[in-house]
Structure 1
């Protein structure tokens, strides 16, 4: 290659490099010590985004309150961050504080100056919110006020920050019509409009998420903020490509009756040789998503932001199954005998219902979903087998009754 050709080649390389670097963002992950927040931070950092995490460690305190622990032992956040730097060479700064402290939220946004904020920092368990009045009030105050502080902080420090908020499919409930992606086109008395999809949540936790959604839509419409609301299904799995690099990078695996998922419970029961406990008939249908798909969905949302003034909603799920079907799938793929047992349902929900969810937005952005049947064999059964000595079977028994109001 002659000198002129070499210089043109290097110039093109420099241009391409600048284009790639221009797409890299500063991302602040709230709730970055949690089950999903931590692997999300690793995934974004691994893709080259300058990533920081914020947490008040409330999730660890819930374990202390309930006398439970993650099936997989997890390190302190500072240890995790140091391990990631050792493994990857990349730093993840840690901010310690509470979204209920408005001054702290403003200070962090000014200090780190993120392009995007990923918001996991809420009490996330429906059963926890239904324990009694105290837990219901705590959940709604913590979730709604914390998110309001964040919206005001974004509006006043940099309205161009893209907020990516983790909502839940539970906001919708189980309507007898198709569930659209956040919005519904309606015709009434000869007139048409586009409105937020009607919500009928099933717990005080899910109600807090509905309040968040309405507050976010209002802030986008009135203040011109940009936000993506990810209505997420039940997440399963415990390993991502990044957490698998070092045991110190592991994330949680919750199985107790308050914070654990039905799928985690079934997998543990299968490995321990216990009956899979299905609540009621098992006809309750849920949207599901692999943890690897969750972190990828967030990356796609961060890298493809909503427009100024847009409240964008994606339904973040890849499969839907009834509880009975989940139990049968676990039994089918477990290499041993499995029994299924039905218990009275402590929740107030329809035993059978219509469930058809539109979830095309993230697929159109490039999501390539994993399937539950593959994840069970690849990682979930092995993770439980490795850690079964830490299981306390009595912690899986139902502890919260939806039908009684308690002070």
Structure 2
């Protein structure tokens, strides 16, 4: 199968491309390297050093004997997007190519506008390119569990059967996103469903939980193949932050009460979910939704797992929550589709013991402690976040 990975330079895009290539698929990646630009703008770096795309591609060829083609360009450029797809002629397009951080989208007006323009327009260009080049291409799009928010009912896999005034229908599950970034993903989902319904395209929307982990079976084969490890308050995840704080002997910073519950997934399961979805495509006209997560934990429970797995001692510091979110809420998610396709999930505690502490310990000298403190306030449209050059967020 020929698979084009959009956003192939990113935290998930790169290990996904390696995993698919290692499984025998012909893979190409596309990226404009904007994620590296966000680091420069915010004055932070991945905990684990990462190589340039050319070095990565060359290293994979040396290690595996397999080639990955790569395209440099922006999905907002419709001409580039269409010609790339026409040239590579993929069977499947895996779409990671978006600005992915909720805090980044909440810094100020410019960052909110950039996030929605970049994400929504880029995805629209991909849909139009598929329609023009080959409507049989299967789009595997990375969504987010954050599209749903925290409703007071069970979260189904994308769709909801409703009865109203004696009549029944099947509708997309109601969305209650918590940031301008999550809103952009909702817009994507509606646009993709529309394209499937009207044009007969085929798509799988993967509403993914919080991803943790930094190593896969492919990335550990050579240091040049490493993917990112983000821990800062804008792009980092709560789990990565807790791990680094434990290693440094600092308190684990919990926002608010810590009762906020989220779905989680290991990076090794993420790349496998992409393979499973790609090799078992949706049918023509189908907008298929999988909730891509393996377990649910509250922030306080995550802190407890980290503290329990760490050989030293770890205390907790509660901070005012900079986000606008429910502290106490119901959270029950259906996530059976990918398991039915063959996913065998890893558990959070396993990954902590095997990988995360070891990686954090190895690169502890690269930690910028100040970068872990919350700097973006959802209630303040112009947050005093550390930014090197505001203009970089608009281009």
Q: TM-score, normalised by structure 1?
A: 0.94
The runs of at least 4 consecutive aligned structure 1 residues that moved more than 6 Å come to none
For the residue of structure 1 that corresponds to 2:297, the secondary structure is strand
Pairwise CA distance, 1:184: 0.1
**Structure-2 separation of matches of 1:361 and 1:404:** 39
Question: 2-side partners of 1:319 and 1:298: how far apart?
Answer: 18
Quick one: which of 110, 115, 122 aligns to 1:146? 122
User: 2: distance between equivalents of 1:337 and 1:93?
Assistant: 46
Does residue 40 (structure 1) correspond to residue 16 (structure 2)? The answer is yes
Where 2:290 maps in the other structure, the secondary structure is: strand
Map residues 152-231 of structure 1 onto 2, 5 A cutoff: 152-231=128-207
Count, aligned residues? 383
Match among 355, 363, 369 for residue 393 of structure 1: 369
The partner residue of 2:36 within 60, 72, 76 is 60
Distance 1:313 1:110 in 2: 26
Structure 1 residue 282, shift from structure 2 partner: 0.1
Structure 2 SS opposite 1:32: coil
Q: Which whole-Å CA distance do the structure 2 matches of 1:279 and 1:227 have between them? A: 36
Aligned equivalent of 2:221? 245
Per-residue deviation, residues 113-140 of structure 1 (Å, max 9, x unmatched): 0000000000000000000000000000
1:92 aligns with 2:68: yes
CA distance in 2, matches of 1:94, 1:106: 15
Deviation track 1:220-240 (CA, whole Å, cap 9, x = no partner) reads: 000000000000000000000
What is the CA deviation profile of residues 246-270 of structure 1, one whole-angstrom value per residue up to 9, with x for unaligned ones? Answer: 0000000000000000000000000
1:248 & 1:104 partners in 2: Cα distance?
28
Partner of 1:21: none
Q: CA deviation at 1:279?
A: 0.3
Q: Which residue of structure 1 aligns with residue 2 of structure 2?
A: 26
Q: 2-side partners of 1:59 and 1:234: how far apart?
A: 18
Aligned counterpart in structure 1 of residue 252 of structure 2, from 260, 263, 276: 276
Identify the residue that residue 330 of structure 2 maps to in structure 1. 354
Please identify the structure whose Cα radius of gyration is greater.
Answer: 1
Residue deviations 1:275-307 (CA, integer Å, cap 9, x gap): 000000000000000000000000000000000
RCO greater where, 1 or 2, for CA within 8 Å and sep 6 or more?
A: 2
Aligned to 1:9: none
Deviation (angstroms), 1:405: 2.2
**Matched residue of 2:205: which SS?**
strand
Structure 2: unaligned runs, 5 residues or longer = 384-395
CA RMSD of aligned residues (A): 0.6
Does residue 49 in structure 1 map to residue 34 in structure 2? Answer: no
5+ long unaligned stretches in structure 1: 1-24
SS in 1 for 2:184: helix
Distance (Å, rounded) in 1 between the aligned partners of 2:88 and 2:126:
14
1:324 correspondence with 2:324: no
Matched residue SS, 2:343: coil
State how far apart, in whole Å, the 1-side matches of 2:81 and 2:255 are: 41
Cα deviation for residue 188 of structure 1 reads: 0.4
Residue 341 (structure 1) shift = 1.0
The 3-state SS of whatever aligns with 1:93 is strand
Map residues 257-296 of structure 1 onto 2, 5 A cutoff: 257-296=233-272
Matched, 1:336 2:336: no
| Partner deviation per Cα, 1:121-179 (whole Å, 9 max, x = no partner) | 00000000000000000000000000000000000110000000000000000000000
Query: Aligned partners of 2:314, 2:21: CA distance in 1, in Å?
Result: 40
Corresponding residue SS for 2:49: coil
1:404, distance to aligned residue in structure 2 (A): 1.7
**Which of 79, 96, 120 lines up with 1:103 in the alignment?**
79
